[in-house]
Structure 1
Amino acid sequence: MLLVVLTFVILLLLNVPIAFTLGIAGIMYFLTQASVPLPVVVQRMITGTQSYPLLAVPFFILAGHIMNASGITSRLMKLADALTGHMAGGLAQASIVLSMLMGGVSGSSNADVAMETRILLPEMRKKRYSDGFSAAVLAFGSLTTAIIPPSIGLVLYGFVGQVSIGKLLMAGIIPGILMGLVMMFTTYLYAKKRGYDTDDRIKRKSFGELIIAVKDSIWALLFPVILVVTIRFGIFTATEASAFAVVYAFLVGKFIYRELDWVKLKASLKDSAEDNAMILLIISMAAVVSYVLAYEKVPVKLASFIVGISENPYIIMGTIIVFLLIAGMLMEGTVNILLLTPIFLPIITKAGFDPVHFGIIMAIMVQIGGVTPPVGVNMYTVCSLGNIPIENFVKESLPYLLALIIIIIIIVAFPQISLFLPGLIR
Structure 2
Amino acid sequence: MDPLSLGLLVAVATVAILFSGVSVAVGLLIVSALFLLVFDGARSLEMMPEIFFADLNSFTILSIPMFIIMGAAVASTRAGADLFEALERWMTRVPGGLVVSNLGACALFSAMSGSSPATCAAIGKMGIPEMQKRGYPDTVAAGSIAAGGTLGILIPPSVTMIVYGIATETSIGRLFLAGIVPGVMLTLLFMAWAIFATWRSGNAMVLASRHYSIRERLEILPRVVPFLLVIVGVLYSMYGGIATTSETAAVGALLCLGMAIVIYRMWSPVAIWGVLRDSTKESVMILFIMAAAGVFAYMMSSLFITQSIAQWIAGLEVNRWVLMILINIFLLVAGFFLPPVAVILMTAPILMPILDAADFDPYWFAVILTINMEIGLITPPVGLNLFVINSIAPKIPLKTILWGSAPFVGCMFLAIFLLCLFPGLATWLPDVVMGPSL
Q: So what's the TM-score if we normalise by structure 2?
A: 0.89
Secondary structure, in 3 states, of the residue corresponding to 1:33? helix
Shift of 1:106: 0.8
Which residue type is aligned with residue 429 of structure 2?
Answer: L
Alignment match, 2:345? 338
Rounded Cα–Cα distance in structure 2 between residues aligned with 1:177 and 1:152: 18
Is contact 1:148-1:169 (8 Å) kept?
yes
Which residue type is aligned with residue 427 of structure 2? L
Name the stretch that deviates more: 116-125 or 326-335: 116-125
- The residue aligned with 1:216 is 223
Equivalent residue, structure 1, for 2:82: 75
Tell me the matched-pair count: 426
Q: Aligned ranges for residues 230-309 of structure 1 at < 5 Å?
A: 230-309=237-316
How far apart are the structure 2 equivalents of 1:165 and 1:152?
Answer: 10
- Alpha-carbon offset, residue 201 of structure 1: 6.4
Given that 2:71 and 2:114 are in contact with CA atoms closer than 8 Å, whether structure 1 keeps it comes out as yes
Letter of the aligned partner of 2:424 in structure 1? Q
Which deviates more from structure 2 when the two are superposed, residues 194-203 or residues 239-248?
Answer: 194-203
2:25: which partner in 1? 19
Q: Structure 2 vs 1, CA of residues 219 and 6 (structure 1 numbering), >3 Å: closer, same or farther?
A: same
Alignment-mate amino acid for residue 185 of structure 1: A
Aligned residue identity for 2:403: K
Calculate the aligned-residue CA RMSD, in Å: 2.4
Deviation at 1:163, TM superposition (A): 0.5
Tell me which of 51, 60, 67 is aligned to 2:58. 51
For the 8 Å contact 1:87–1:93, the answer to whether it is kept is no
Residues 137-167 of structure 1: CA deviation (Å, up to 9, x unaligned): 1111111122111101001000110110011
Q: 1:177 aligns with which of 162, 172, 184?
A: 184
Shift of 1:355: 1.4
The match for 1:85 among 92, 100, 103 is 92
Matched-pair contact (CA < 8 Å) for 2:137–2:201: no
Runs of 4+ in 1 over 6 A off after TM superposition: none
Task: Tell which deviates more after alignment, 353-362 or 259-268.
Answer: 259-268
1:32 paired to 2:42: no
- Which of these residues, 395, 404, 408, is aligned with residue 412 of structure 2? 404
User: Residue 116 in 1 paired to residue 126 in 2?
Assistant: no
Task: Using the TM superposition, give the Cα deviation of residue 202 of structure 1 relative to its aligned residue in structure 2, in angstroms.
Answer: 5.7
Q: In 2, distance between residues paired with 1:101 and 1:201?
A: 22
Q: 1:86 to 1:43 in 2, by over 3 A?
A: farther
Residues 361-415 of structure 1 deviation map (CA, whole Å, 9 limit, x = unaligned): 1111112111112222222332344335443333232211111101111112212
- Secondary structure, counterpart of 2:112 in structure 1: coil
Question: 1:307, 1:316 within 8 Å by CA — same for their partners in 2?
Answer: no
TM-superposition CA deviations, 1:68-100 (whole Å, max 9, x none) = 334432322222223443344443322211111
Residue in structure 1 matched with residue 198 of structure 2 by the alignment: 191
| Paired position in structure 1 for 2:434 | 425
Unaligned runs of 5+ residues in structure 1 are none
Contact 2:131-2:141 at 8 Å conserved across structures: yes
Indicate the larger mover: 385-394 or 61-70. 385-394
Aligned-partner residue type, residue 406 of structure 1 = L
How far the C-alpha of 1:346 sits from its partner, in A, is 2.5
Asked if 1:148 is matched to 2:155, the reply is yes
Identity between Structure 1 and Structure 2 (%): 28
1:252-291 per-residue CA deviation (whole Å, 9 max, x = no partner) reads 2334554444232111111111111221222222222111
**Which residue of the partner structure matches residue 96 of structure 1?**
103
Q: Is the 8 A contact 1:306 1:319 kept in 2?
A: no
Q: In the alignment, residue 395 of structure 1 is paired with which amino acid?
A: W
- 2:364 & 2:159 partners in 1: Cα distance? 17
TM, length-normalised to structure 1: 0.92
Q: Is the 8 A contact 2:81 2:126 kept in 1?
A: no
